[in-house]
Amino acid sequence: MILVKDFLINVSVSIFILIFGWWLSSIVGQWFSKAIKFSPHIDVTVVPILSSLAIWSIRFFTVITVLARFGLETTSIIALLGAAGLAIGLALQGTLQNIAAGIMLLLLRPVRSGEFICLKSGEEGTVSEIGLFLTRITQNDGTSLTLPNSILWNSTIVNFSRNSIRRVDIPVSISYKSDINLALDTITDVVKSNSLVLVDPTPLVKVVEYKEFSIVINVRVWSDSSNYWDLRWGLYHQIWVSLGAAGIEAPIVINSNLN
């Protein structure tokens, strides 16, 4: 009877420790995430991973404490967990790859939260979170894309936000009937009047190609990365409005397949 009573007390205490450990890990994880975000020296990209490590470290020691109450020695527990970890590792190789990829993304930081990226497979969007297993990306249409870390790590990544400035190239096609010099001067005036265009590197407006039905002028300017799309869309509109006002005609393409 005494043994049963001791066993029930032991089970009750163990359950309390387990519940308290899980609750404490969640509280510490939330506090850890908030505390890290206040530090200017820590990238927000690493917050989810560090928070997860803090949570699961507490839970690991909680389980060790519970098992120790039932008389298992620490060395035996570690050996048991090691064997179990090996078996689980073999069964969950893909998951471990995601964890390893998450750690490499954390250390080398090819991407960070808030940066706009594009993968070789075609997915693109703004990185919202890099976790221990998964990376979440918000796409241009507002939908959320979730990728395993291993896919992100093994992919070619184009990061559009990492550098402070970006180049804008706009091809402009005009008719052979148009005055080329007038077109060049008109486009140059538009470029110079746009406040989003950087003076250095020097903007270029050059004829780059003579096609069958059109002359192609390339407009090459630089802007701050944050102004890239505003400048690109604005120049398209301003250039064609100015060319039309100057009497510069767009090329007329004749379909040779029509009889």
- Over residues 40-59, the pLDDT tens digits come to 555 566 667 667 777 878 88
What is the length of the chain? Answer: 259
Rounded to whole angstroms, the Cα distance separating 113 from 123 reads 16
For residue 259, pLDDT over 50 is answered with no
Cβ-in-10-Å burial (0-12, 13-18, 19+) of 174 comes to: buried
Q: How confident is the model at residue 258 (pLDDT cuts 50, 70, 90)?
A: very low
Mean pLDDT of the chain: 81
DSSP 250: P
Of 11-20, 113-122, 204-213, the range with the lowest mean pLDDT is 11-20
In CATH, what is the architecture of 111-159? Answer: Roll (2.30)
For residue 191, pLDDT over 90 is answered with yes
Per CATH, 2-91 and 111-159 having the same topology is answered no
- Domain residue ranges in the chain: 2-91, 111-159, 165-245
Which of 32-41, 166-175, 248-257 is the most confident on average?
166-175
Domain covering 165-245 assigned CATH 3.40.50.150 in the classification: no
For residue 134, pLDDT over 90 is answered with no
For residue 112, pLDDT over 60 is answered with yes
For residue 129, pLDDT over 80 is answered with yes
* pTM beyond 0.85, yes or no: no
Q: What does the pLDDT read at residue 196?
A: 94
What percent of the chain has pLDDT above 70? 77
Give the pair of three-digit tokens for residue 101: 């990829």
Domain 2-91 fold: Helix Hairpins (1.10.287)
For residue 256, pLDDT over 60 is answered with no
Q: What does the pLDDT read at residue 10?
A: 72
161's CB contacts (< 8 A; 6+ apart) are 114, 115, 116, 117, 225
Long-range contacts of residues 86-95, Cβ cutoff 8 Å, at least 24 apart = 94/148, 94/150, 95/133
Rounded to whole angstroms, the Cα distance separating 159 from 34 reads 27
The answer to whether 243 touches 170, Cβ cutoff 8 Å, is no
Give the pair of three-digit tokens for residue 138: 């918000």
The sheet that has 124-130: what strands, in order across it? 144-148, 134-138, 124-130, 116-119, 157-159
